[in-house]
Amino acid sequence: MHRTILFPLLLVAAIVTLAGRNLSAVTIFGTAYSGDSGPATLYTINPSSGVATPIGLTGYNRVGAIDFDPLNGVLYGIGTDSTTSAIDLITINTTSGLGMTVGATGVTSNFQDISFRSDGTLFGVSSGQAYTINLTTGVATALPNPTGQSAMGSGLAFDPSNTLYNINGNTIATIDQTTGVGTATGTTVNYPINIVPARPNAMDYDLTTGILYASVVHSIDGIVANFIAEIDVSTGTVTNPRATIAGLDGLAVLPVSSVPDSMSTLWLALPLAGMILLARQRRTVPA
């Protein structure tokens, strides 16, 4: 192949390759606090190593439930107002970590986790009760029935097909989004022996890959450790447990819409390659 043509083709291939890598990259945010109700800090978490990098204080206590709105990329959370003690729906700035009140949920016990459905409806679970949460007022509305699941260490997440999963300890269940009733799938989580007993206190799907990431708490003889792990709800298999920041209690995967799309990058790359090709051809034309 002529070198004049080969160069821009290689350029396009390189750009598309890099775009594909960006598309599959996973960015995870987490919130952690100390004690039962300490001030919460927002972190980014490396999914490969578990290393947590602090962004900043949220300005709220016990922010233990966070998720991104899939329609606009806004990070929402549930936190306790240190002045009023109200349990508020908040938005969180992913650059500074600071939270801003949307409104009081009206619920008196803290939310274990929250999760957005693909249509932008926010669900949450608190003390074995599922809710929908109004994004304008913050008010939480209980579904008709309790989930029937334990309130301890309860992770909540919608999968790519909008099935709402709830994991308590090692019990995997689905939550009926109309009635609120939880139904065990019959599959249990098989935690590695070195982190048993364990429970997830937060979880979220990477909707691009279908991988479920979870914040897993391991506690024995008063010693508590936190891990990031991947859980396969169909088999109960736990893979890649990595130690992470102590006190981690909220977990959210950045939506893929916030990551450069490979096809749009391709369409940007083609005109660029064409211009380079034309310029090189003109340089080879005799004067």
Q: E-assigned strands of the chain?
A: 28-32, 39-45, 52-68, 75-80, 87-92, 99-104, 113-116, 122-126, 129-133, 140-146, 154-158, 164-168, 171-175, 182-188, 198-206, 211-220, 223-231, 238-243, 248-253
- Per-residue confidence band for 2, with pLDDT thresholds at 50, 70 and 90: low
CB 91 within 8 A of CB 74: yes
172-196 mean pLDDT: 94
> Which residues, including other chains, have CB under 8 Å from residue 99's CB and lie 6 or more apart?
58, 59, 60, 63, 77, 79, 90, 91, 92, 93
The CA dihedral of 189, 193, 199, 202, to the nearest 10 degrees, is -80
Q: How far apart are CA 207 and CA 118, in angstroms?
A: 10
Amino acid at 44: T
pLDDT of residue 49: 95
Q: How far apart are CA 210 and CA 23, in angstroms?
A: 14
Average pLDDT, the chain: 85
70 preceded by cis ω (within 30°)? no
**Residue 3 pLDDT > 90:** no
Q: What is the pLDDT of residues 75-134, one digit of tens each?
A: 999 999 999 999 999 999 999 999 999 999 999 999 999 999 999 999 999 999 999 999
- Per-residue confidence band for 151, with pLDDT thresholds at 50, 70 and 90: low
Tell me the whole-structure pTM to 2 decimals: 0.82
